[in-house]
Amino acid sequence: MEERRIVSGDREVMGDKLVFTGTCIEVETLVDYLKAGHAPEGFPTVSREQAEAYLETTIS
């Protein structure tokens, strides 16, 4: 994946909640969705690479 921020927080985007960069998808929402056993393809604006990179940084 290219070097860029995976997630961002901005008051102008979703009230400063942590979202995947370039989307309005809250990180917490996608993580909960994945924990429930769903595939990340349910959120087409978040790339698989973004989801995997975020999970790798939080697990390690």
Task: Indicate the CATH number for domain 7-59.
Answer: 1.10.10.10
Greater pLDDT, 57 or 1: 57
Q: Which residue has the tokens 């008051």?
A: 11
More confident residue, 3 or 24: 24
Helix axes 27-35, 48-59, angle to 10 degrees: 90
pTM value?
0.78
31-48: pLDDT as tens digits: 999 899 998 888 999 988
The Cα–Cα gap between 6 and 37 comes to: 22
How large is the greatest C-alpha to C-alpha distance in the chain, in angstroms? Answer: 31
Tell me the pLDDT tens digit for each residue of 7-34.
Answer: 998 888 788 899 999 888 999 999 999 8
**3-state secondary structure (DSSP) of residue 52:** helix
